[in-house]
Structure 1
Amino acid sequence: MPRPPTNSLRPGERFVVEPDKLLFSLGTFAAAAIVLIITFTASLPRPWWALLTVYVTAQPLAGATAPKVLYRLSGIALGACVTLALVPNMQNSPVLLVVCLAIWTGLCIYLAVLDRTPRAFLYQMAAFSAAVISFPYLDNPNDIFMTTISRVQEMIVAIICVTAVHTIMRPMDVRHTIRKRACSFLVHASRWTADALGTRHTVLEYEHRRMLAADVTELGIIASNLPADSRQALSTRATVTELQHRLAALLPLASAAANRLDKLRALDAVDAETANLVGRVIGYLREPPDVANQFDDELSTRCRALSAAHASSNRWSSLLAANLCDRMAAFIDTLHVARTLVRAIDDSAIDVTPHLREVDKTRLFPLPRDHGIALLAGVATTTAVLIYCAVWILLAWPSGSTTAAFAALITCSFAAQDDPAPVIGRYLMATLSTFPLAALYLFVLLPRVDGTAMLIVMLAPALLWMGYLQADPARAARALPMLSCFIVAMGFLDRLHVDFAAFANTGLAQLAGIVTTLAVTKLFRSANLRWRAHQILHRNWSDLARLADPREPLDTQSWTAHAVDRLGQLAARMALIGAADALHEADGLIDLRIGRNIIQARQALQYSREHTRIAIQSTLMEISQLYQARLREGKALAGSASLLGALDRSIGATMDKTEEVGDRTLLALVALRCNLFPNAHPLEVDA
């Protein structure tokens, strides 16, 4: 089920003003007031563009604005250069000019969706600025140079003002946001693990997977703002990077422990000591973090001791129990380190050096790039812009240029989302609900305003309220359309110009832009949900085929990062696909566990004796061939009898206590057998 809004009000619940959000709204309004004063004083022709830019670029995080300002300014400059290169040289070929601008916008959106870092703002602003500068003046491009200079000035003034104000006021600390998000993840993961160990393990709900995996990925994106937020940015960035790796490990460890316990219960082989230990782990996970930390070392040590005792036996049930205890110990250790790292984000007195591995490019948490989805977003944007312009030109609509510019704004704002259609639908409803307020201001209140100071005072109630909504994640999706409709509908100029026909025409242009964007989005992106899920799943299988091939180089960190990120993306799509769809036979979480065990088995090859190394290599090649077959057939094929035999021989060879690979390799092979052959008969090993 979808995650409920974090701050939505329940019946009978009182609305409470939160200081951080109010401070953000006050800061953004202060920036808007400064922008209005500057634009009116400097007689810039379109003050409303500057005012709109303030709210489009404002971010609720203190460090989220500063690192993006350079990208945004660079994007504006790039968009302006493209405008000056295209419009004057193609003014006699309007169709060709529109096609070139549409292709440029689509290319920028392709790059923005492909690059999932703050650098994407450069491409978004390049697309947005070129559209808002070019489209409104295609009918009369003779003065395009001065128009471009004016639009660039208005947007630059807005970005500089909002950046300066929020840097000074610092409405929300990025580190606080990271700590809050990580704490939420740890509480959620502990609660689910306790429930899974306490009852018969079932497959995780896709929404829970999406939430947990998405939180791990989002931490890195938020952490990219740290250099502008903290003087100890490097050390904090290292802490957050390590925290990401620890959180990513919790997902497969928790599900693996629950899976092994499920198998033991199915065999009725849970002995009293193991049952008692599982009960203690469940109690530990349900304790508050401050209380639970007192038991970390003792409980982890007991789990590992019982794991070693079970691993000394050749019985299959003992190997499963050893695997269970080992995974519980690893989960507890990882959870303890993650909690320590979370506390260290705010408390510099905590020494996290023992928990930090070398921070270099290989330790960063890389995000996979999806060229297919990015290309689809770019093509959808190009098509949408062409449709806007075709309607505008064919109907000779006086406000059609506003439709194209406004629709480009919406497309650029939501292009990075997987399926923007629901958000754009809410955007439409929020826009409709704001027209009465804009009409009240334009026709009733503003005619009584005299001077910039009185205008700012008059605008304060509406802008402060919308700015507060913008700082609330549960309501932010409503804030931007409300602000856009409110500001664009009034169209602040150096002199008040009240014209109901122009107001209605502009409003219809905005609605037309939103409706067209919604229609194109549904056509190109909503209908391809299953195809995109297939693409993500196939990339995961392709990576696993390479990971299992002993001849390929081993890149553990990149694979884990990609697998966790894809787990979140796949779960988000699976939640919207019918339960009868064959895609549900593929389990991204099982693939994540398989990949981690493959890595452990491959790392043991260099320490193994020849006969054991040959057995493990044979097993890995069989696994690689299985995933290659899945890629060819396009479905989750079951493992072959040959693979099961290879796994059993590897397990038997690794049980030799003279081997140097140790119990962990044995447990990794046992885990592979459980994951690849969940319904296979228990392994029979010679005593």
Structure 2
Amino acid sequence: MNTPSPLCPRLTRACAAVLRAGPDRLRTPAMRADADAILFSAKSFAAAMLAYYLSLRIGLPKPFWAIVTVYIVSQTSAGASLSRGVYRFAGTLIGAIATVAIVPNFVNDPVLCSLVLAGWIGLCLFFSLLDRTPRAYAFVLSGYTASLIGFPGVLDPAAVFDTASLRVQEISIGILCAALIHRYVLPKPMTGQFTGKLAATLRDARRLAGDALTGTPEDNRTDRRQLSLDLLTLQGLATHLPYDPAPVTPRRRTLQLIHDRLARLLPLTADIEDRVHRLGIGTGEDDLSALVGAVRAWIDTTDADDGETAARLMGRARAVQKQLAAGAAPPGGIIGANLAGHLAEMIGLLHDCDRLGQGMTARWHARRAASLHGPARARGYVYHRDPWMAARAALGCIVGILGGCAFWIGSAWPEGGTAVSILGVCCTLFGTFDAPVPFVVKYIVGSIYGVLISLVYSFVVLPQVTDFGVLVAVLAPAFLFAGSLQARPPTTFMAMGITLTIPILSELGTSYTGDFAASLNTVIALFAAVGFAAVSMSLFQTVPAPVAIHRLLRVSRRDVGRRARGAAPNEAHWTSLMIDRTALLLPRLRASGQADADVLDDTLRHLRIGHAAGRLRKTIPRTTGEAGAAVGALLSAIAACFRAGKPTDPADLVDLDQRIETLMAMMGDGAHSSRSRTVDLLIDLRFALGAGGTASKENTAHDR
């Protein structure tokens, strides 16, 4: 009798373990990302070939533009693909109309024609930088469509209208095919991605609230940074939701209400953290310590949306606030009352977020909105817009294009029109970045691969192809590989260099031409234009990270002064605007290599100072006599301290702290209808400034 080898059972068990682990490995983030990239690439290639086939059947002379369009508008989600297609169509149509209006009227003067075209492209870039939403893509397209059609059309102005009309048709077919394939073939809705991100953001907000009561300052800094970035990401995703194929999408007003509460939560948790540390609240037996412990326990519970518990905690916080405010003789009394009031507000904001998150798809009627603890009026995300920086980038774009035009006109280079058109595309497409050159370099690397692949296709493979099915088969390897790279953010621009070069340089038209000289001239024009664009953009369109950081901080400080004067917008607008600036600072700080803790703390401090100063301004009409005049004088001093956006002098901060202390004593001795409200705001302002001059460290990171 043979005894079984011990190796067999071991091998059997190992194979079974591998088979059991297989599905789990496929569910890892890396494997899911690979699967999503492959699916995106396959769908984009199918859409490109469908667009190419339809363009050939219709008889369009340059059907490769339909292929290029598919890869430009395709996104990993169905909603983003459709919205990008709509914006591209609108931008292409407007750019084509502008070109038809410009070129025939100025063609007799090439210099003036170049100046007008460059001015239009720069104007489109200016508005795209001001918009800062995905809709800005329409402005970008308006600019570089004019560049693609206009500069080559200078040599043949009579054909500009026909060229523009055909280009719109080719692009429209590409947009239509991309939208259909991504929407109806294994669609990937954005609504699921958005709701998942929103759920994670709400968890981050609760963790931030809990850390304000228990965590270390460094933990809270990290949580606030993450919340700022989460709000910007959610806004970008929400822009595409109206185009999403999901049967039910979150309602816009509900999302705005959630945003307003999360935005207010960010500075509010900083206020609470300061007071908890100042009072040294721990496990004491007093009412305030017990309240903090109860709120902490409520935040940590899984059933955090319990309305009854939230209402009971809010009532308890208001009771503690009144109790401490009534016996406000000790310094800790009024600060404790202030903390209790902030706790009540934080509970209300968190409970509102829970309720709104559960009812994202429901219509919020006036009666339901009135039951919210926070404001029922929705403001939503507010973007920071800087016309001066946008104008600077637009002017740099114009200068770079005019430099290329000067070389083209002066040298009478036959391919100069093509080169300048590519230059205009680069200056517009990459001009939305502070530092565009690294992205241009990635595009150049992709273009090198695209040129090599195109030459192989043009003079080795395509001469042997006589059937459309065979053509699809031979094109598949290159486009499928490039498409999978395009789905991954680190290689997106390199992939664009491949997918945009192959169709144009291989001349995937109605028939095979195989003109080596023409291809060589196009390659020279391509690399000359992209290389000149890299040099031009490094000189005229690059904003160093320290310059962008200084500009953002300067504008924030200036707006603090405007808030103190009563000239800036309301609290919700101000809070959201400053959070957007924080989100803009984070990547720039990483790029500059600066330590971000001090800079972000200063931005949050500016937000809190402006919030308290703006609200304090509203109490002046209800504060009569000497106290009202003192409040006005204090706000004027704050406006002077932050005027012109200059860093504040530590001596000025000490003076402001003394003014607040004097004013609080004055309010305590008098009887005013808004006394408690004014004292609360003075405490907020004092803590935001640094509680007795300690905010002088504000200047340490500004001008590094």
TM-score, structure 1 length as denominator?
0.83
- Aligned to 2:217, what secondary structure does the other structure show? coil
Q: 1:464 to 1:199 in 2, by over 3 A?
A: same
**Aligned residue number for residue 194 of structure 2:** 178
For residue 60 of structure 2, the aligned residue among 30, 44, 57 is 44
- Aligned to 1:345, what secondary structure does the other structure show? coil
Separation of aligned partners in 2, 1:145 and 1:553: 48
Following superposition, the deviation at residue 154 of structure 1 comes to: 1.3
**Aligned residue number for residue 505 of structure 2:** 489
2:545/2:588 contact within 8 Å kept: yes
Q: Which amino acid counterpart does residue 342 of structure 2 have in structure 1?
A: R
Following superposition, the deviation at residue 668 of structure 1 comes to: 2.4
For residue 216 of structure 1, the aligned residue among 215, 231, 246 is 231
Of residues 52-61 and 136-145 in structure 1, the stretch that sits farther from structure 2 once superposed is 136-145
**Aligned residue number for residue 372 of structure 2:** 355
Following superposition, the deviation at residue 592 of structure 1 comes to: 0.7
Following superposition, the deviation at residue 540 of structure 1 comes to: 2.4
Q: 1:153 to 1:199 in 2, by over 3 A?
A: closer
Following superposition, the deviation at residue 403 of structure 1 comes to: 3.0
- Aligned to 2:527, what secondary structure does the other structure show? helix
Q: 1:327 to 1:83 in 2, by over 3 A?
A: same
Q: 1:478 to 1:553 in 2, by over 3 A?
A: closer
**Aligned residue number for residue 151 of structure 2:** 135
Q: What does the per-residue CA deviation read over 1:617-648, in whole Å, with 9 as the maximum and x for residues that have no partner? A: 333233223222x53xx223333555323312
Q: Which amino acid counterpart does residue 123 of structure 2 have in structure 1?
A: L
1:428/1:481 contact within 8 Å kept: yes
Matched, 1:316 2:331: yes
Matched, 1:125 2:138: no
- Matching of residues 88-237 of structure 1 within 5 Å: 88-169=104-185, 171-192=187-208, 194-195=210-211, 197-202=213-218, 211-229=226-244, 236-237=251-252
Separation of aligned partners in 1, 2:549 and 2:694: 32
For residue 371 of structure 1, the aligned residue among 384, 387, 399 is 387
Following superposition, the deviation at residue 110 of structure 1 comes to: 0.8
2:561/2:639 contact within 8 Å kept: yes
Q: What does the per-residue CA deviation read over 1:436-456, in whole Å, with 9 as the maximum and x for residues that have no partner? A: 444454444434433223323
Separation of aligned partners in 2, 1:85 and 1:114: 25
Matched, 1:677 2:693: no
Following superposition, the deviation at residue 152 of structure 1 comes to: 2.3
**Aligned residue number for residue 75 of structure 1:** 91
Separation of aligned partners in 1, 2:132 and 2:330: 48
1:201/1:259 contact within 8 Å kept: no
Following superposition, the deviation at residue 367 of structure 1 comes to: 2.7
How many residues were matched structurally?
Answer: 663
**Aligned residue number for residue 648 of structure 2:** 636
Which residues of structure 2 form unaligned runs of 5+?
1-24, 696-704
**Aligned residue number for residue 680 of structure 2:** 667
1:254/1:328 contact within 8 Å kept: no
- Aligned to 2:32, what secondary structure does the other structure show? coil
**Aligned residue number for residue 263 of structure 2:** 248
- Aligned to 2:187, what secondary structure does the other structure show? coil
Following superposition, the deviation at residue 495 of structure 1 comes to: 1.6
Separation of aligned partners in 2, 1:448 and 1:651: 89
Q: Which amino acid counterpart does residue 455 of structure 1 have in structure 2?
A: L
2:431/2:541 contact within 8 Å kept: no
1:79/1:129 contact within 8 Å kept: yes
State the Cα RMSD in Å. 4.0
Following superposition, the deviation at residue 108 of structure 1 comes to: 1.1
2:251/2:362 contact within 8 Å kept: no
1:26/1:464 contact within 8 Å kept: yes
Q: 1:574 to 1:315 in 2, by over 3 A?
A: farther
2:283/2:290 contact within 8 Å kept: no
2:205/2:262 contact within 8 Å kept: no
For residue 598 of structure 1, the aligned residue among 613, 629, 638 is 613
Matched, 1:623 2:638: yes
Matched, 1:450 2:466: yes
Matched, 1:545 2:582: no
Larger relative contact order (CA 8 Å, sep ≥ 6): 1
For residue 411 of structure 1, the aligned residue among 420, 423, 427 is 427
Separation of aligned partners in 2, 1:199 and 1:226: 36
Q: Which amino acid counterpart does residue 255 of structure 2 have in structure 1?
A: V
**Aligned residue number for residue 4 of structure 1:** none
Following superposition, the deviation at residue 377 of structure 1 comes to: 1.6
Q: 1:664 to 1:103 in 2, by over 3 A?
A: same
1:608/1:659 contact within 8 Å kept: yes
Larger Cα-atom Rg? 2
Following superposition, the deviation at residue 252 of structure 1 comes to: 0.6
- Matching of residues 405-444 of structure 1 within 5 Å: 405-444=421-460
Separation of aligned partners in 2, 1:559 and 1:223: 21
Q: Which amino acid counterpart does residue 618 of structure 1 have in structure 2?
A: A
Separation of aligned partners in 2, 1:337 and 1:250: 11
- Matching of residues 554-593 of structure 1 within 5 Å: 555-577=570-592, 579=594, 584=599, 587-593=602-608
Q: 1:137 to 1:609 in 2, by over 3 A?
A: closer
Q: Which amino acid counterpart does residue 152 of structure 1 have in structure 2?
A: V
- Aligned to 1:526, what secondary structure does the other structure show? coil
Separation of aligned partners in 2, 1:626 and 1:313: 30
Q: 1:146 to 1:539 in 2, by over 3 A?
A: same
Following superposition, the deviation at residue 593 of structure 1 comes to: 1.2
Separation of aligned partners in 2, 1:70 and 1:278: 51
Separation of aligned partners in 2, 1:558 and 1:495: 58
Of residues 635-644 and 235-244 in structure 1, the stretch that sits farther from structure 2 once superposed is 635-644
1:213/1:568 contact within 8 Å kept: yes
TM-score, structure 2 length as denominator?
0.81
Separation of aligned partners in 2, 1:489 and 1:468: 21
Q: What does the per-residue CA deviation read over 1:327-373, in whole Å, with 9 as the maximum and x for residues that have no partner? A: 3443343233223323333678999643398887x735443431111
Separation of aligned partners in 2, 1:369 and 1:624: 22
Q: What does the per-residue CA deviation read over 1:435-491, in whole Å, with 9 as the maximum and x for residues that have no partner? A: 444445444443443322332343334434443444445554444333223333323
Which residues of structure 1 form unaligned runs of 5+?
1-8, 683-687
Following superposition, the deviation at residue 385 of structure 1 comes to: 1.6
Separation of aligned partners in 1, 2:259 and 2:492: 26
Following superposition, the deviation at residue 241 of structure 1 comes to: 1.1
Separation of aligned partners in 2, 1:637 and 1:483: 55
**Aligned residue number for residue 522 of structure 1:** 538
Following superposition, the deviation at residue 245 of structure 1 comes to: 0.8
Separation of aligned partners in 2, 1:561 and 1:70: 28
Q: 1:281 to 1:426 in 2, by over 3 A?
A: farther
Following superposition, the deviation at residue 166 of structure 1 comes to: 3.7
Q: 1:364 to 1:279 in 2, by over 3 A?
A: closer
1:600/1:665 contact within 8 Å kept: no
- Aligned to 1:313, what secondary structure does the other structure show? coil
Separation of aligned partners in 2, 1:473 and 1:336: 36
1:115/1:369 contact within 8 Å kept: yes
Separation of aligned partners in 2, 1:250 and 1:403: 51
Separation of aligned partners in 1, 2:398 and 2:488: 32
Q: Which amino acid counterpart does residue 657 of structure 2 have in structure 1?
A: L
Q: 1:498 to 1:231 in 2, by over 3 A?
A: closer
Q: 1:203 to 1:191 in 2, by over 3 A?
A: closer
Matched, 1:648 2:661: yes
Separation of aligned partners in 2, 1:180 and 1:152: 37
Separation of aligned partners in 2, 1:72 and 1:356: 42
Q: 1:497 to 1:302 in 2, by over 3 A?
A: farther
Separation of aligned partners in 2, 1:663 and 1:379: 52
